[in-house]
């Protein structure tokens, strides 16, 4: 849909607008973004995102809330490993 240079063009356009807008917080943000511009563009190019980490963090919070009153940290860790560790079938006693 967009070429490889599109993110840089969009970012440059936004930075130019932010500097011209004369809203102090936008001007400050634009300066900060300019300092980190190359890293931001590299992250876009590589498709880096912390969305998986944020999703896992949300699951852990739900597990902790659902199991309010875990007797120990080990019990909480075991529950997290059980729910998020990729186990699809639990062993049964015979």
Is 0.75 surpassed by the pTM of this model?
A: no
Q: What is the pLDDT of residues 8-40, one digit of tens each?
A: 999 999 999 999 998 999 999 999 999 999 999
Q: How many domains does the structure of the chain reveal?
A: 2
Same domain? 28 vs 14: yes
Query: Could you tell me if residue 89 is inside a domain?
Result: no
- Number of CB atoms found within 10 A of residue 30's CB: 19
Query: Could you tell me if residue 90 is inside a domain?
Result: no
Query: Could you tell me if residue 63 is inside a domain?
Result: yes
Same domain? 40 vs 65: no
Domain of 30, in residue numbers: 6-46
- Give the 3-state DSSP-derived string for the chain, with helices as H, strands as E and coil as C: CCCCCHHHHHHHHHHHHHHHCCCHHHHHHHHHHHHCHHHHHHHHHHCCCCHHHHHHHHHHHHHHHHCCCCCCHHHHHHHHHHHHCCCCCCCCCC
Tell me which residue of 33, 18, 87 sits closest to 79, measured CA to CA.
Answer: 87
Query: Could you tell me if residue 77 is inside a domain?
Result: yes
Residue 60 has pLDDT above 60, yes or no: yes
């Amino acid at each position: 849909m967009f070429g490889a240079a599109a993110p840089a063009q969009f970012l440059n356009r936004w930075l130019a607008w932010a500097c011209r807008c004369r809203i102090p917080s936008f001007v400050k943000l634009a300066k900060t973004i300019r300092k980190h511009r190359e890293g931001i563009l590299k992250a876009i190019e590589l498709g880096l995102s912390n969305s998986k980490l944020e999703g896992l963090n949300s699951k852990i919070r739900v597990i902790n809330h659902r199991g309010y009153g875990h007797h120990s940290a080990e019990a909480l860790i075991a529950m997290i490993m059980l729910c998020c560790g990729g186990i699809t079938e639990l062993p049964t006693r015979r």
